[in-house]
Amino acid sequence: MMIIESIIEISTFFHLVFFVIFLKMKKNKLNNYFMLFKGNLLTVNEFFFLFEKYNNFLFGKIEPLPKETEYPNLFTNLEFKRFVNKYKTLAIYLYFSVPFHFILVLILGSDTSGSISW
């Protein structure tokens, strides 16, 4: 049973690290698109609203991606549309797998006694 616990703990760690990297990359990529589309596909007010929304200190990184119904001009750019579709499927996986891994770790527990068994 110890091997399964170790595998789940390692998997949880890597999922969490990948999740943090994913959120950082999503934020940077969105900021690049917003800067690129400022004045063309986004009005100045839309740009500042989106920029502040996704750069918010507390919840900016976990904000969902812009919706096509709210910002149809953004989705006229095919590269942005592909980016949103790709990141949406990856986000769904990560938003469910990271908590699932944490729940598994909590259920299975781990040996943290610190003793060495010979």
- As a whole number of angstroms, the distance between CA 82 and CA 5 comes to 37
Structural domain that includes position 19 = 2-107
Instruction: Note the pLDDT of residue 113.
Output: 54
Alpha helices in 38-71, H assignment, sequence order: 44-54
Asked if residue 43 is part of any domain, the answer here is yes
Considering the chain, what percentage of its residues have pLDDT values greater than 90? 41
117 is a domain residue = no
Q: Is residue 114 part of a domain?
A: no
CA atoms within 13 A on the CB side of 27: 17
Phi/psi of residue 60, nearest 5 degrees: -65, -35
pLDDT greater at residue 58 or residue 104? 104
Mean pLDDT of the chain: 85
Task: Give CA–CA dist 33/27, Å, rounded.
Answer: 10
How many separate domains does the chain show? Answer: 1
Classify residue 118: in a domain, yes or no.
no
pLDDT greater at residue 36 or residue 108: 36
Instruction: Identify the pLDDT of residue 110.
Output: 57
Instruction: Give pTM, 2 decimals.
Output: 0.76
Residue 113 lies in a domain: no
Q: How far is CA 111 from the centre of its chain?
A: 30
- 55 assigned to some structural domain: yes
Per-residue confidence (pLDDT) for residue 33, from 0 to 100: 94
Query: How far is Cα 60 from Cα 76, in angstroms, rounded to an integer?
Result: 24
Q: HSE, CB side, 13 Å, CA atoms: give it for residue 24.
A: 6
| Structure tokens, 83 | 């980016």
pLDDT digits (tens, 9 = 90+) for 47-97: 999 999 888 877 777 788 888 899 999 999 999 999 999 998 898 998 899
- The pLDDT assigned to 112 comes to 56
> Is there a contact between 28 and 110 (Cβ–Cβ < 8 Å)?
no
Q: Is residue 44's pLDDT more than 80?
A: yes
pLDDT for residue 4? 79
Q: Is 62 a member of any domain?
A: yes
Would residue 91 count as lying in a domain?
yes
